[in-house]
Amino acid sequence: MARGASSHFSLKRAEYDRYYPTVLGVLQNSGFLVLDAERTEDRAFLQGLPRTGEGPGIEIEIRRRPKGVDVHVLVVPHQDLPQEKGRFLMKQGVFGTLQSDPASDRSLADILPGLRRDEGERQVDPRFRRTPTNIPEWIFFNLKGGTMTWFLGTVIGLTGAAYLLFWAPEGPYRRNDPLMVGLLLVLAPWWSGIWGRSAARGLVAAFVTVAIPVTFYVVSALNWALPGLARNPQISMITVFLDALKGPAGIAVPVILGILSGIVGAIAGVIGGRIFPLQMKRARSSESI
């Protein structure tokens, strides 16, 4: 029964033709001498022995996939590797019968980081970043994380809600209660929420969009300050809540309406996230297979 260690992983962004010379370089830099190789259009085998003549040997199989490559690595004592050209221990199906070998485990751990490195996306030296690291990315209109669209959507939605409550011109539409409620508690939070591009951001955006202008409206309607902001005819839903919550308790109305609109914003945020997905941190380029 063979002794050694093995690993199997895939590189989703690697190209077969480019990855093959990368493996050759990793083997040479790791102290292996490539003694045998077999390569076809979609599959390659490499066999390496330690340059010093002592320690484990290695075999690597690379398989082309529609997206990326699959890599199989086998490390065994070099005496166990076949001596004949064109013969590879991998082809004999030894993976399922391997016994642990400490030296092979160490060699495998040393070489895997180099083999797993995916050159599909190069890392940028922080010194050469286009934006300073001590300044928030959204200030530079970096839309990848969604912060800027979330902020702008909330500001526009809040401005629209405030305009509807305080500055919109007079007209018959202001006496249409379903229309006014729909504009304030559905359309405005929907706009803010969809640009949040996630349920949590959508909820927060919609809450802010409705709660802030309604707070000023309620303060004026209760005659505490800001006279004249609560225009006639007043918004029916706000009036209903103010009649139910007498006196200082009326200050809870913005919170209640903010929560109701937050539900709308959360739904809109989910839909916005499907239409304009947030770009999260990339997953590791190598995955076990």
Structure tokens that stand for 287 in this block: 């995955």
Place of tokens 């912060």: 147
Confidence of residue 125 (pLDDT cuts 50, 70, 90): low
Confidence of residue 282 (pLDDT cuts 50, 70, 90): very low
DSSP string for residues in 53-67: S-SEEEEEEEEE-SS
Q: Which of 88-92, 105-109, 226-230 has the highest average model confidence (pLDDT)?
A: 105-109
pLDDT in tens, 213-224: 999 999 988 888
pLDDT in tens, 129-177: 555 555 555 454 455 567 888 889 999 999 999 999 888 888 888 888 8
Question: What pLDDT was estimated at residue 55?
Answer: 86
Report the mean per-residue pLDDT for the chain: 83
Domain segments of the chain as ranges: 3-116, 137-275
Question: What pLDDT was estimated at residue 121?
Answer: 46
Question: What pLDDT was estimated at residue 60?
Answer: 92
Structure tokens that stand for 227 in this block: 């006279």
Q: Please confirm whether the linkage preceding 277 is cis (ω < 30° from 0).
A: no
Question: What pLDDT was estimated at residue 230?
Answer: 72
Task: Give CA 239 to chain center in angstroms.
Answer: 43
**Choice between 126 and 284, residue whose per-residue pLDDT is larger:** 126
Instruction: Please give the average per-residue pLDDT across 4-28, as a whole number.
Output: 89
Class of 3-116 in CATH: alpha beta
Instruction: From 105, 103, 113, 73, select the one nearest 89 (Cα to Cα).
Output: 73
Global pTM reads 0.50
Contact 225, 219 (CB under 8 A): yes
Cα 219 to Cα 86, 184, 283: the distances in Å are: 86, 18, 49
Instruction: Please give the average per-residue pLDDT across 11-26, as a whole number.
Output: 89
pLDDT in tens, 181-240: 999 999 999 999 999 989 999 999 999 999 999 999 999 888 888 887 777 767 888 888
**Percent of the chain clearing pLDDT 90 (strictly above):** 31
Looking at the DSSP bridge assignments, the partners of residue 39 are 44
CA distance 83 to 89: 10
Structure tokens that stand for 128 in this block: 């050469």
